[in-house]
Copies of this chain bind each other. A is one copy, B any other.
Amino acid sequence: MARTAGSHSGITGPRVREAALRLFAQHGFAAVSMRQIAKEVGVQAGALYNYTPDKQSLLFDLLKGHMDDLLTARQAVSWPPDPEAQLEHFTRFHIAFHLERPEAVFISYMELRNLTPDNFAVIEDLRRRYESALEAILQTGRDTGVFQVPDTKITTLAIIAMLTGVNTWYRSGGRLSQHEVETIYWDMVRKAVT
């Protein structure tokens, strides 16, 4: 037996990435074998190499895709003029975007050390780009006197760490709606910088 019924590149390709994403998030990159991914897709391990040159690239593509999505989404929405409204917008955007794709977020934080140095540098650069967007908001707010932050760089990292932390506990259908969570976090962020 060789090619299976209904096989198609446009179908198998995405399924490989989806299976890898789910398995990497669940067990970790190093703990997942190519044969496990193949089994999930319903294919032999060798067939995966039609869709990725190697396991490392599979991980990198997932992280790179996630960061691209993040930066694209940020640029796609229209941003209000004043810093405080921008900061609220950023807070709600960050929480909403990250809660929408918990697995990609998870491996983007957990599997950085499994990237080759070259691949790591690419991802880190994209992340810095995202952080700069927040820092620019804080900087403008401080210059115009609406924010009181002693160190915009640290405040940037602190806010992002706090917001991303939502992913560790939030489950839809729980005590609070996503919008309520956003509002609570926005309340803390606003007070922390004003």
Contact = CB atoms under 8 A, between A and B. Distances in A.
A68 B154 CA distance: 30
Interface in A1-53: 26-31
Contact of A187 (B27, B30, B113, B150): B150
Interface size class of A (residues with CB under 8 A): 20 to 34
A27 B161 contact: no
A87 to B, nearest CB: 13
- Chain A's interface: helix, strand, loop or mixed, by majority? helix
A80 interface: no
A184 interface: yes
Given A28-B113, A31-B114, A150-B184, A162 B158 contact: yes
Contacts of A110: 110
B158 A185 contact: yes
A144 to B, nearest CB: 19
B191 A113 contact: no
Contacts of A176: 151, 154
Nearest to A189: B192
Given A155-B188, A161-B164, 20 more contacts: A26-B113, A28-B113, A28-B114, A30-B30, A31-B114, A110-B110, A150-B184, A154-B184, A154-B185, A157-B168, A158-B162, A158-B185, A158-B188, A160-B165, A161-B168, A162-B165, A188-B192, A188-B193, A191-B191, A191-B192
6 contacts: A155-B188, A158-B162, A158-B185, A160-B165, A188-B193, A191-B194
